[in-house]
């Protein structure tokens, strides 16, 4: 069975595709399937709600099963912010760079032991018949005092794993093993495989 991936983010699509293809789940974007998919406004108050909103919109657009995620960074010192506003934290015209700049400013002078953070990923698959499969996982770590590494996307350059390595420093394969999205995609894939038995 083929699934639509409800994203225009190339980094996210590549990560989803790499992990799902490895377990025999074929994915494509709506554009690749010949549809025009406009990402809906994320009006949910949780990652799970936003993932569902995106998956449902893509499923309705393409009349195919659709997989979406909503992921975010929750920083302990900031009482869980940026949370569901992770992608647009620095304002409506922000990008990864401006979001990271704001995060580093907010944590300027905060000691390492108070820079704890979690990446959270909620995955959702919506089928044309109305079935919904969900999975959510997180990844604990810390926020660096400056950007480290050249890989990854989003907040990866400032997210340190407990062992001190940054998400932007490790290979995609290592990141897939420990990241919030890697774990959530694998859990969703397992649920989809069980459903197809």
DSSP state of 1: -
Q: Round to the nearest angstrom and report the end-to-end CA distance of the chain.
A: 12
Please count the residues of the chain. Answer: 197
Closest CA to 118 of 69, 45, 167: 167
H helices present in 29-179, as ranges: 47-62, 96-106, 172-178
Closest CA to 4 of 64, 50, 54, 53: 64
Which run of H or of E encompasses 158? none
Is 176 catalytic? The answer is no
Catalytic choice (31, 69, 70, 79): 70
The residues that are catalytic are 70
């Amino acid at each position: 069975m083929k699934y639509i991936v409800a994203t225009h983010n190339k980094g996210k699509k590549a990560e989803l595709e790499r992990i799902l293809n490895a377990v025999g789940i074929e994915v494509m974007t709506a554009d690749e399937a010949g549809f025009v998919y406009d990402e809906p406004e994320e009006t949910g108050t949780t990652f799970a709600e936003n993932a569902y909103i995106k998956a449902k919109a893509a499923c309705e657009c393409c009349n195919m099963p659709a997989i979406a995620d909503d992921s975010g960074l929750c920083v302990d010192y900031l009482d869980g912010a940026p949370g569901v506003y992770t992608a647009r934290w620095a304002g409506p015209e922000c990008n990864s760079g401006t979001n990271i700049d704001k995060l580093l400013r907010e944590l300027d002078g905060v000691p390492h032991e108070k820079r704890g953070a979690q990446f959270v990923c909620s995955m959702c698959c919506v089928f044309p018949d109305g079935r919904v499969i969900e999975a959510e996982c997180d990844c604990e770590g810390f926020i660096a005092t400056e950007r480290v590494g050249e890989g990854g996307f989003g907040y990866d350059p400032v997210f340190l794993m407990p062992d001190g390595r940054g998400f932007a420093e490790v290979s995609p394969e290592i990141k897939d093993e420990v990241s919030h999205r890697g774990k959530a995609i694998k859990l969703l894939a397992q649920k989809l495989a069980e459903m197809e038995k």
